[in-house]
Each structure stands twice: as C-alpha cells, then as structure tokens.
Amino acid sequence: TFFDTAETYGPFTNEELVGEALAPVRDQVIIATKFGFKEGDATQGQDSRPERIRAVCDASLKRLRTDRIDLFYQHRVDAEVPMADVAGAVKDLITQGKVLHFGLSEAGVNSIRRAHAVQPVAALQSEYSMWWREPEREILPTLEELGIGFVPFAPLGKGFLTGKMTAGTSFAKDDFRSIVPRFAPEALQANQAFIDLLQRVAAARQATPAQVALAWLLAQKPWIVPIPGTTKLHRLEENLGGANLTLTAGELQQIADALTGIQAVGERYPAHLAARAGR
C-alpha cells in the first residue's frame, strides 16, 4: 500500500499523522514524501539547496518514525538550484540508506532528463485525469522512454469527476479550489460534458463516475499509479472499486472518441501557481 505525504502538508502535521498511523505496519507499506519549499511553507517559495534537502530528509525521517524514505520527491523544480545539484544531493542520501528512490513532481521534460542523468528518477508525480490530459503530449512518452513511473495526483479532477458538483457548488475560502479558474461557476457548467460521458459509461457497468475515471486512468499505461485523496471512508472504498473495474477496448474507444469533442474550460491553476509547474 502506497502513502503520499509531504513536509508542507500541515506543514509537518501530515507526516506526523502518517508516521504514527503506519509505525505498526511500516514494513508493509511504501511511504513517499517531498522536499522543496522554504521552511516547509509552500507560500514562501522554493528551496532545494542541497543542505536544505538533507535537513528535510532528517526531519521527515523523525516525523515519519522510520529509518528510510521509500520515495523522496522534489515538490516543485527550483529555478535557483541546478537540477544536477538536487539530484546529486538525493543520490548521496540514497547512498547513505536514508532514501531508497528519487522522484520529481510537476517537472518538465528537460528537468526530468537532467535529473535522470545524475540519479535515476523512479517516479514523476503530476496532475493527470480525463479533464487534464496535457501529460500525454510530452511527459508520458518521456517517462516511457526512460522507464520512469507516473503517479497522477488529482485523478478525479479534485473531486469534479465524481459528478457531485454543479455550477452552484461553492467552496470555502480555505478550500484551494476557491481560487482555481476551472472551478468557477461558468467553468463547472461548461465542463459537465465530462460528467455526462462518465455517467453513461458508469450506468452501463453499474459503477460510479469516479470508478470509471480511475479505471480509464489505469488503462492508459501499466506503470501509472494514481493517488486519489479522500477524507471519507466510503469514498475510499468507492475509489478502490475503480481499481477492480477493467474497461473493455470498446469502452475505452467510446471514451476516446467522446473526448475528442470535449474541450476543458478553465485553467487548472491560477497564474502564480501555474508558473511553478512544468519547469
């Protein structure tokens, strides 16, 4: 079982919770965490200096109550620190046994190649779903060429692909989606075409739209491992059902044909956050 966390979640508290929860079963799970923000605060900007990477590793090991980090991601590419220095720092941590594998998040093709040349990259974590298919253009071919796994976050479109949202859905001020253009009322309305498609396929398979969205993602490549987030047990169980749903070739073609006629409306990030992705 694969668990994903980061020092910036909380900050710090999520790692502590994960560490406490998984301590009794540590050898039965895979834990990924991340470095890359100043003082663990995403609002302060990036910091992937080698000395900072080493400090984050040691602090994360303590919070996670473990002697190794299975997968250590750079949370966002730091334009101020050469990728060779970042990859070299993680390579040293791997040599020391503190880290087992190196990963990147929301990195562009050039950064992936530069990192991989110094320390093989095991996984890339970036957004990918039926309504954000940009990785299909350059990222997926590069990962396949280099033998890198893909860990899509927001595989359910931050909740949209569950089919539970309408143009009238509102978000609290502390909800990230409240500042995302794609979740503006007019965008939610325009993007209902994705939900209509998912509902048609789901009805035929006695599944839910979320399960179809996850099954579609898993069918794209055998080395894709999506990480849907949830705060509710029944949603976790629903998501697990997506892994047991295998779409037929005919269903996948039906979805592909339908998607050619659907254009997602609204940017996935506000401008200041979009600037951090794809470097």
Which residues are identified as catalytic? 9
What CA–CA distance (Å, rounded) separates 261 from 187? Answer: 16
Q: Who's near 56: CB < 8 A, 6+ residues apart? A: 7, 35, 40
Tokens 């071919």 -> residue: 141
Residue 136 to residues 143, 150, 153, 221, 244, Cα–Cα distance (Å): 10, 11, 15, 11, 24
What CA–CA distance (Å, rounded) separates 184 from 267? Answer: 10
DSSP letters of 9-30? Answer: TTTTHHHHHHHHHHGGGGGG-E
What are the structure tokens assigned to 141, written together?
């071919």
3-state helix, strand, coil in the chain (%, to 5): 50, 15, 35
What CA–CA distance (Å, rounded) separates 227 from 73? Answer: 15
Give ∠ CA 154-184-271 in degrees, rounded to 5. 70
